[in-house]
Structure 1
Amino acid sequence: MTADAHGSPHAPSTDARAQRTRADLRAMLLDGFSFSVMVGIGESYLAPFALALGLGDVTAALVATAPMLAGGVLQLVTPAAVGWLGSHRRWVVLCASLQAASFVPLAAAALAGSMSPWLLFATASLYWGLGLAASPAWNTWAGTIVPASVRVRFFARRSRWAQAALLLGLVAGGAVLQLASEKGVPLAGYVAAFGVAFAARAISAFYLSRQSEPAPVPIGETRVSPAAIREHLRTGGHGRLLAYLLVFQASVYVAAPFFTPYMLGPLGYDYVGFTALTGAAFLARVAALPLLGRVTKRVGTRRVLWHASMWIVPLPLAWLVTDDFVWLFAVQLWSGVAWAAFELASLLSFFEHIPQRTRTSILSAYNLANAVAIAVGSVIGGVLLDAVGRGAAAYAAVLVASAIARFVALPLLRGMPDVVPASATPIPLRTIGLRPSAGALQRPVLAALDGEDDESGPGEPRAAVR
C-alpha cells in the first residue's frame, strides 16, 4: 500500500472516496439538468398536445392533473420494490428508464395524428406514476451520496442548474411547436418535442446509473409508516395545516388546469404567448424565493402563509379583466411570487422537525393527499365547464367559482403552526411540472434538510416553532 508524504497508509482510499464523491455529484448535476429539460419540453406540453389532437378542453385540462393520482398511489409500492431489488439505485434507474419510454407512445400518436383519450390518460398516468414512485427512494439514496458538509450548497446549486434547464426546455418546446404550427404541421412539432423529452430522461437515467450507492439503506428508511403519519398529524397543528392545504389546493384546481385551454382557446394565444406566460410565473417564483426566505426567517411562516393565501384568492378574477398580454404577464409575475411564498411557508411548516426515519412516510402521505385534492378540484372544474357550455362564459364561471372556493377556505388558517427558520436559505425544491396558473409543481429535497453548511450550523435545527 502506498503512503502519502506523512506516511499515512490510508491516503489512497481517502483519495478514492473523494474522487468517487466528486463523480457522484457531477452525475447528480447532469441527471437533474436532463430531468428538467424533459419536464420543460415534455410534461409542460401534454395539455396543449391534447388540444392539438382535438380531444377537447376538458380532456386537455384533466390530463395535466388526474394522472397524478396514479403517481400518488404507485409511490406506495416503492418500499416493496426497493426490497425486492435490494437497492434504491436500481429502483430509481428502472423508474427513470420507463418514464422516458412513456414518451414513445406520445411521439407515435403525434406521428399518426390521433390518440384515444383513454390511451392518453394511461400514458400520462404511467409518466406520473413512475416519476412519483421514484421520489421516496431517490430522496433516501441522495442523502447517502452528498456529504452533509456541502449538502445545502450542493442542492441549491443543483436547483439552479435544473431551473435553467427547465426554462431551456420550455422555450425550445414553444419555439418548435410555434414553427411547426406556422408551417401547417403542428403535430410534427410534438414528435420533435417528445423525442427530445425521451432522450433527456434517458440521459438522466444514464447519469443516475453512474452514481454509487455508498451504503445500503435499510428498507425501513423508505417504508411508509401509518403510525408515523398519524403521530405527525396529531402534533404541532400539522393535521389542521394539512386540512387547509388540501381544501385550498382543491379550490385552486377547480380552475388551475383550465388556464392552458383558456389561453390557447378563447383568449386566442399561440404557443409563443403560452410559453411566455407560463415562463413568467416560473421565473417570478424562482427570483422571489431568496427574498421570501429572508422574510420568512424574520416574521415566521404563519404570516407569510396568510398573506400568500390572500394574494392567491383573487388571481383567477384577474384573468377576466382583459386579455391584453402585458396585463396577463403582470398577473403571472404576481402569481409566481404569491405561489413561491405559499409553498415556502407551507413546506417549512409541514416538513421541518420531522425525524429522518419518518420523512419518507410524511412525504408519501403528502404527495398522495395532494394528488387526491388536485384530482377532486379538477373534476369539479370539468363538470362545471361542461354544465355551463364550454365557451368563454363557462371559463368565467370556473374562474369565479375557484376564487370563491379559495376565499371560503381561508378560515381554516386559524391555529396554523408558526415556524421561524434558523436559516434564510429556502429548502431546495425539485420541479416536477410546470403550470400556467402557479408556475410550477415542486417537492422538497428531503436530503437537504440534514445539511451542516447552512446558517443554523452543524447539529442545530433549521427552524424553531413558536
Structure 2
Amino acid sequence: MNGLTSDDSRPEPQPRGQRVRRLTHNLRVSQADAAAFGVMVGLGETYLPLFVLTVGLSEVMSGLVVSVPVLLGGLLQMVSPWAVGLLKSHKRWVVFCSMLQAVSFVPLIWASIVGHIPPWAALAAASVFWAGGLGTGPAWNVWIGTLVPRTIRAHFFAKRTRLQQLTVLAGFLGGGFALRYGEQHDCVLTVFAVLFAIACVCRVLSALFLAAQHEPEPLPLDRRRVPVLAQLRSYRHSAGGRLLFYIIVVQFGVWITGPFFAPYMREKLKFSYSDYAVLIAFSFVFKILALPMCGRLAKRWGARRLLTLGGIGIVPMAGMWSISDNYAWLCLTQITAGVCWAAYELAFFLLFFESIPADERVSVLTLFNLLNSAALAAGALLGGVILHFAGEAQWAYQALFALSSVWRALALIFLWRVPHIEVTGDAVGMQIEELRPTGEALDGPILSSLPDETRR
C-alpha cells in the first residue's frame, strides 16, 4: 500500500490517442463505481440498526452494531501494506475488500428471510462490512492518485463526489419509502431482504467497475510509509497533532449518542420509516448544499476560523433533541446540524491533510482512521452501557443527548490550543462511507483532490 516500492521500472509511454482512450475509460468506470457504491451505502448499512430492531434485538444492540464493528475496519488497515505487498497490487487488494464487503450482506439477507439473527451474527456481519469498507480506503487513495491526472483532479473528484451524494440520497429515500410500504402491508422483513440484496448487487457491480480500471503503477514509487508509532511521536507536539487530538476527543463525545438516534426515533418517538428517512435526508441535503458556501468561507476567512465556527455550531446539536420531539422542530435541528457539520468536516480535512506532505498523506489517513474508529467505538460503548443500565428509558436517551453536547463544549478547550495552519484549498473530494442520522458521517477524503503544497 502506502510507501511500498518495487524494483520494476515504470511502464513505457503510450501513444497519445491510446492514453486518452484509456483515461476516458478509467474516469467513466470510476464514476460508475461511485454511483453503485452510493446506492449500496443508502440502501444497506444505513438501515442496519432498524433491521436489528425489527428482528427483535435490543435498542442498545441496534446502536452497537453500527459502531463497534467499525473498529475492526480501522484495525484491518494496518494489514493493508502487507496485503498489498503480497498481492503486488493496490487494485487487487481494493477489489478483494470490495467483494468482502458485498459478502457481508448475505447473512443479513438470510436473516431477513427467516426473521431472526443472533446478536453475535449481526455484529459479525457488520464487522465484515466495515473490514471490507475501511480496508480499501488508503490503498484506493494511492491507486486513484495514479489514474487521474493532476490537471483534472479538482473537477473530476468534485463531479464524482456529487454523483455519489445523489445516489446515496436516492438509495436512502427509496429504502425508507419501500420500508413504509412494507410496514403498511405487513411485509417489512421481505422489503429488508430486497434492500440488502440490491445493496449486495450494487457492491458487486462496484467491485467489477473497480476491476475494470487500469493500474498504471501497481506499487507507486513516490509513496512513503510512516509507521504509526513514528507518526504519534512526530505529531505529539505539532499543530497537526493538536488538531487530531481535538477531533478525536470530539468524536468520542459525538458517538456517545450517534448510534442511538435510530432506535430513539423508532422506539421512543414511534416515527415511521419514511419519517425517519426524510428527517435524516434534511441533514444530508443541507450538508451538501452548505459545502460550497463553507469552501468560500474557508478561502475568505481561513479554514481555522471555519473550524471554530463549525466546532461551536455542533455543540448544541445533540442537546436540541431533548428540547422537543415535535417533527418540525427536529427538521429544523437537522437542517442546522447539516450546515454545522459541513463547516466542521471541510475545515478539518483541509487543515489536517493539506498540512501534511503529499507522500505521507496515505499513512496519516491510516492513522486517522484507526484513532477515529477507536474513539467512535469507545463512545458508543459508553452510551450503550448507560442505556443498558437505565433500562433503555426515554430519559436515559435525553441524558445522553445532554452529555454529548456538554462533552463537545468541553472539547473546545483543545481547539483553542490548535495554532494557525495556513492552507490553500477550499474543497475536498469525499468518499461517503456511512450516512448517520444527525449529519455526522464517516466520510473519507480523496487525498488526490488536495493541493500538493503544504504550508505551516
TM-score bucket of the superposed structures, by smaller chain: over 0.9
Q: Which residue of 1 aligns with 2:270?
A: 268
Alignment of 1:174-253 (within 5 A): 174-218=176-220, 221=223, 223=225, 225-226=227-228, 229-230=231-232, 232-234=234-236, 236-253=238-255
- Letter aligned with residue 428 of structure 1: G
Bigger shift: residues 313-322 or 262-271: 313-322
Bigger shift: residues 230-239 or 39-48: 230-239
Alignment of 1:354-373 (within 5 A): 354-373=356-375
Bigger shift: residues 167-176 or 315-324: 315-324
The answer as to 2:441 corresponding to 1:446 is no
Aligned-pair CA distance for 1:415: 2.2
Equivalent position SS for 2:15 = helix
The answer as to 2:359 corresponding to 1:380 is no
Structure 1: gaps spanning 5 or more residues: 1-9, 451-458
Alignment of 1:145-160 (within 5 A): 145-160=147-162
Q: Which residue of 2 aligns with 1:162?
A: 164
- Separation of aligned partners in 1, 2:282 and 2:224: 36
The answer as to 2:287 corresponding to 1:315 is no
- Separation of aligned partners in 2, 1:382 and 1:434: 20
Say whether the 8 Å CA contact 2:239–2:421 is kept in structure 1. Answer: no
Listed one character per residue, the Cα deviations across residues 20-72 of structure 1 (whole Å, up to 9, x for unaligned) are: 01000000000011001100000110111111111011000111111100000
- Letter aligned with residue 430 of structure 1: Q
- Separation of aligned partners in 2, 1:13 and 1:259: 55
Q: Which residue of 1 aligns with 2:431?
A: 430
- Separation of aligned partners in 2, 1:268 and 1:222: 51
Q: Which residue of 1 aligns with 2:75?
A: 73
Q: Which residue of 2 aligns with 1:390?
A: 392
- Separation of aligned partners in 1, 2:238 and 2:378: 27
Listed one character per residue, the Cα deviations across residues 87-107 of structure 1 (whole Å, up to 9, x for unaligned) are: 111111111112111111101
Equivalent position SS for 1:315 = coil
Aligned-pair CA distance for 1:121: 0.3
1:351–1:12 distance in 2 versus 1, CA, 3 Å: closer
- Separation of aligned partners in 1, 2:351 and 2:56: 42
Aligned-pair CA distance for 1:175: 1.5
- Separation of aligned partners in 1, 2:47 and 2:354: 34
2:59 paired residue among 49, 57, 60: 57
Listed one character per residue, the Cα deviations across residues 288-335 of structure 1 (whole Å, up to 9, x for unaligned) are: 000101101111222222221211111122112221111111100100
Q: Which residue of 2 aligns with 1:294?
A: 296
1:399 paired residue among 389, 401, 409: 401
Alignment of 1:104-143 (within 5 A): 104-143=106-145
Say whether the 8 Å CA contact 2:351–2:423 is kept in structure 1. Answer: no
Equivalent position SS for 1:217 = coil
RMSD across aligned positions (CA): 1.8
- Separation of aligned partners in 2, 1:407 and 1:445: 29
Listed one character per residue, the Cα deviations across residues 166-195 of structure 1 (whole Å, up to 9, x for unaligned) are: 011101111111111111121111101000
Equivalent position SS for 2:264 = helix
1:340–1:383 distance in 2 versus 1, CA, 3 Å: same
Bigger shift: residues 30-39 or 351-360: 351-360
Q: Which residue of 1 aligns with 2:33?
A: 31
Say whether the 8 Å CA contact 2:265–2:271 is kept in structure 1. Answer: yes
Q: Which residue of 1 aligns with 2:22?
A: 20
- Separation of aligned partners in 1, 2:219 and 2:266: 47
Q: Which residue of 2 aligns with 1:98?
A: 100
Equivalent position SS for 1:430 = strand
Equivalent position SS for 1:432 = strand
- Separation of aligned partners in 2, 1:152 and 1:58: 41
Aligned-pair CA distance for 1:449: 1.9
Aligned-pair CA distance for 1:337: 0.7
Q: Which residue of 1 aligns with 2:9?
A: none
What percentage of aligned pairs have identical amino acids? 40
Say whether the 8 Å CA contact 1:228–1:361 is kept in structure 2. Answer: no
TM-score, normalised to structure 1, is 0.92
- Letter aligned with residue 150 of structure 2: A
Aligned-pair CA distance for 1:221: 3.1
- Separation of aligned partners in 1, 2:101 and 2:439: 24
Say whether the 8 Å CA contact 1:385–1:397 is kept in structure 2. Answer: no
Aligned-pair CA distance for 1:354: 1.7
- Separation of aligned partners in 2, 1:19 and 1:337: 40
Say whether the 8 Å CA contact 2:240–2:355 is kept in structure 1. Answer: no
Equivalent position SS for 2:323 = coil
TM-score, normalised to structure 2, is 0.94
Equivalent position SS for 2:318 = helix
Aligned-pair CA distance for 1:228: 5.4
Q: Which residue of 1 aligns with 2:5?
A: none
Say whether the 8 Å CA contact 1:278–1:439 is kept in structure 2. Answer: no
Bigger shift: residues 244-253 or 203-212: 244-253
Q: Which residue of 1 aligns with 2:7?
A: none
- Separation of aligned partners in 2, 1:117 and 1:77: 27
- Separation of aligned partners in 1, 2:247 and 2:232: 17
1:394–1:234 distance in 2 versus 1, CA, 3 Å: closer
Aligned-pair CA distance for 1:263: 0.5
1:286–1:42 distance in 2 versus 1, CA, 3 Å: same
- Separation of aligned partners in 1, 2:222 and 2:60: 41
- Separation of aligned partners in 2, 1:231 and 1:384: 34
Listed one character per residue, the Cα deviations across residues 340-398 of structure 1 (whole Å, up to 9, x for unaligned) are: 11111111111113223211110000000000101111111111112222121111111
- Separation of aligned partners in 1, 2:278 and 2:135: 31
1:301–1:11 distance in 2 versus 1, CA, 3 Å: closer
The answer as to 2:416 corresponding to 1:414 is yes
Aligned-pair CA distance for 1:11: 12
Listed one character per residue, the Cα deviations across residues 128-171 of structure 1 (whole Å, up to 9, x for unaligned) are: 01111111110000000001110111000000110111011101
1:188–1:334 distance in 2 versus 1, CA, 3 Å: same
